[in-house]
Chains A and B, each alone.
Chain A
Amino acid sequence: MNNNNLYRPIRAEILEIRQETASDRTFVLAWNSRPLPGQFFEVSVPRLGEAPVSISAIEDDRIEMTIRKVGRVTDGIFTLGPGDALFLRGPYGNGFPLNRFENKHLVIAAGGTGLAPVRPVIRHFTARRDQLAGLDVLLGFKTPDDILFRDDIEKWKCDASIRVTVDKPADAWSGAVGVITTLVPEVDFRDINETEVIVVGPPLMMKFTVMAFLDRAIPPEHIWVSYERRMSCGVGKCGHCKIHDRYVCLDGPVFNYAEARWLQD
Chain B
Amino acid sequence: MNRQDEYSDLNASFRFSVLEFNALFTSLLEHFEIWAPQRYAARGRFSDADSIGYGPIHSPNEIVFDEKSHFSSKEAVFPVSETMFDLLGDEFVQAEDAQRDILVFARPCDINGIERLDDIFLRNGSVPDPYYQRRRERIRFVLMECAASFENCFCVSMSANRTDNYIAAIRWNSEHVLMRIRDKTLLSLVPDNASPAEFIPEFVEEDREPIGLPNGEKLEAAIRDGSLFEHDMWEEYTARCIACGRCNTHCPTCSCFSMLDIAPEPESGFGRRRRVWAGCHIDGFTNMAGGHAFRKDNGSRMRFKTMHKIHDFNARFGRHMCVGCGRCDDHCPEYIRFAHCIGKVTRLLESGDHE
Contacts and interface: CB of A to CB of B under 8 A. Distances in A.
A232 interface: yes
Contacts of B269: 47
Given A5-B94, A230-B286, A250-B124, A49 B260 contact: yes
Among A4, A68, A230, A247, the most chain B Cβ lie within 10 Å of the Cβ of A230
Contacts of A11: 90
Contact of A238 (B257, B261, B307): B257
Contacts of B92: 8-9, 46, 87
A196 B108 CA distance: 51
Nearest to B279: A239
Interface residues of B, number: 58
Interface of B: 84-85, 87, 89-90, 92, 94, 120-121, 124-125, 127, 129-134, 223-224, 226, 229, 255-263, 266, 269-271, 273, 275, 278, 280, 285-292, 294-295, 300, 304, 307-308, 311-313, 315-316
Given A70-B290, A262-B223, A264-B229, A47 B266 contact: yes
A48 B223 CA distance: 39
26 contacts: A1-B94, A1-B133, A5-B130, A6-B129, A7-B84, A7-B259, A46-B92, A47-B87, A47-B266, A47-B269, A49-B261, A51-B289, A228-B288, A229-B294, A230-B286, A237-B120, A237-B124, A238-B258, A238-B259, A238-B275, A239-B278, A249-B125, A262-B224, A264-B223, A264-B226, A265-B300
Contacts of B307: 244
Contact of A47 (B130, B263, B287, B291): B263
Contacts of B294: 203, 229, 265
A239 B255 contact: yes
A6 B130 contact: yes
Contacts of B124: 236-237, 247, 250
Q: What secondary structure prevails in chain A residues at the interface with B?
A: loop
A127 to B, nearest CB: 31
Contact of A245 (B121, B285, B312): B312
Interface string A238-258: 111010110101100000000
Interface in A5-41: 5-9, 11
B119 to A, nearest CB: 11
A236 B313 CA distance: 13
Nearest to B229: A264
A244 B85 CA distance: 32
Contacts of A242: 308, 312
Interface string A97-116: 00000000000000000000
